[in-house]
Amino acid sequence: EAGVTQFPSHSVIEKGQTVTLRCDPISGHDNLYWYRRVMGKEIKFLLHFVKESKQDESGMPNNRFLAERTGGTYSTLKVQPAELEDSGVYFCASSQGVAGTGDEQYFGPGTRLTVT
Amino acid sequence: GQNIDQPTEMTATEGAIVQINCTYQTSGFNGLFWYQQHAGEAPTFLSYNVLDGLEEKGRFSSFLSRSKGYSYLLLKELQMKDSASYLCAVILRWRAGNMLTFGGGTRLMVKP
């Protein structure tokens, strides 16, 4: 069974440009999470989908970030326009159910975004 | 605010035992995870504790004390491949959806 995949693995863009990150969760996982790690900091939660619905987007930094999960399968995270402080590694994770206890999240390898 | 602390770096010798500590001060608690992350790779699940006590899984064990806001990950019979970052993450009870709140991670270097 394939794990969580993310595309691209690396992206280098200029300030002001647009970038779209993609995450394919494990098949059958209703829950999809986006996290981000900026240089020298801890991994931080961005948002959570249950199927196609946004359950919690309290971690999104600002309205330059837009996440979608049409059809409840893969998800995209668009940054428009990108700023220097958006550089970091963007992780996607998926899990089977919000059981409340021990619902393991499976992480993708991340997309390293560099804004110059 | 939420505070999860773990040492930044640790060094240990192949074959030895190492304990990585994690302390947390959070608004609510609904479980603690440990993940392992090799450089450039996805974090992978190691353990989950929600009740006090020790959970053992092969060479790895994880302990939790909720009253003390404390957990540790114990790695026995260290191997070179155990060199990685170890991430402590908490689920906060007051937030639905099981999103993880992470500490900064501990980079473990295993030397021959």
Q: Is the pLDDT of residue B65 over 70?
A: yes
Q: Which chain A residues are closer than 8 Å to B87 by Cβ?
A: 43
Task: Name the average pLDDT for chain B.
Answer: 94
Q: Determine the Cα–Cα distance for residues A6 and A23; give it in Å rounded to an integer.
A: 5
Query: Is residue B95 very low, low, confident or very high in pLDDT (cuts 50, 70, 90)?
Result: low
Q: What's the pLDDT at A102?
A: 63
**Does B40 contact A at CB distance below 8 Å?**
yes
Token digits for A62? 């600002």
Cα angle A57, A33, A30; round to 5: 110
**Does B43 contact A at CB distance below 8 Å?**
yes
Q: What's the pLDDT at A70?
A: 86
Contact B97 A56 (CB under 8 A): yes
Q: Which helix (H) or strand (E) holds B106?
A: strand B106-111
Q: What's the pLDDT at B109?
A: 98
Q: Determine the Cα–Cα distance for residues A15 and B1; give it in Å rounded to an integer.
A: 31
Q: DSSP secondary structure string, chain A?
A: ----EEE-SEEEE-TT--EEEEEE--TT--EEEEEEE-TTS--EEEEEEETTEEEE-TT--STTEEEE-GGGS-EEEEESS--GGG-EEEEEEEES---SS--PPEEP--EEEEE-
Phi and psi dihedrals of A11, rounded to 5? -145, 130
Q: Mind listing the pLDDT tens digit of every residue in chain A (116 residues)?
A: 689 999 999 999 999 999 999 999 999 999 999 999 998 899 999 999 999 999 999 999 999 999 999 888 999 999 999 999 999 999 999 998 755 556 789 999 999 999 99
Q: What's the pLDDT at A44?
A: 96
**Does A42 contact B at CB distance below 8 Å?**
yes
Which of B:88-107 have CB within 8 Å of A? 89, 95-105
Q: Give the mean model confidence (pLDDT) for residues B34-44.
A: 95
Q: What's the pLDDT at B94?
A: 62
Q: Determine the Cα–Cα distance for residues B81 and B83; give it in Å rounded to an integer.
A: 5
Q: Which of A48, A101, A107 sits opposite B50 (nearest CB)?
A: A101
Contact B98 A104 (CB under 8 A): no
**In this predicted model, what pLDDT tens digit does every residue of A1-33 receive, in sequence order?**
689 999 999 999 999 999 999 999 999 999 999
The three-class DSSP label of residue B110 is: strand
